[in-house]
Amino acid sequence: MIHLLKSGGLLMLPLVLCSFVSLTLIIERSIFWLRIRRDKDRDLVYRVLDLADQGLWDEIRLAARGSRNFIIRILINGILHRDYSMAMAMESAASDELRKMRRFMGVLETIITVAPLLGILGTVVGIIHSFDMLGAKGIGDPQAVTGGIAQALITTAAGLSISILTLLPCNYFNACAEASALAIEKYATSLEITYEKRANGNRDVQHPEEGKLAAGGRG
């Protein structure tokens, strides 16, 4: 490994840095999504929606107490602000959750792009070095020429390897974030529709005293 680093030249240093940053972030994101999966509680989500359909708001807060499910947090935020703007409250909470899910994705995507470019740059530098050696020493010292070619090949291989090994988990993390966004939209919309149905239903139900007054007025 040390021999490869030396053979690759100075451009191996930023490539090593890219690989270290990539590995660190991949581990961090993997732990994050494992926690998301561990805290997933679909039954509790349906229970919250069922209680909302019955208008048992205090029961919802008790049922959801201590939950680490991100969907529950969003729904509870909407319920707490239902008298003002449930939709805006859930949208704000959803933005915060999605921001956490997409954290560091820009860094990983940058590494995917930059690592092969650094490898290509190493290729160019290695070829230039080879031609310099060829012009200075001719073909009498083939080892000097092949040294530059080796530098070119090592940096290219390193850059492509880092990019590929970062691309796969990055795509997985993006897919997880997209699936979570769809789940948020689904359950937030369900809660909003349930609340609107109850609100409109209460408006449509006439109070008995109001009915008597209306009948008396017609009489």
Domain ranges of the chain: 7-115+170-201
Q: Which amino acid is at 144?
A: A
Provide the pLDDT confidence category of residue 219 given band limits of 50, 70 and 90.
very low
* CB proximity list for 121: less than 8 A, separation 6 or greater: 11, 155
Could you report the per-residue pLDDT of 32-65, keeping only the tens digit for each?
999 999 988 889 999 999 999 998 988 998 999 8
Instruction: Give the DSSP per-residue string, 19-38.
Output: HHHHHHHHHHHHHHHHHHHH
Enter the DSSP assignment of 205: S
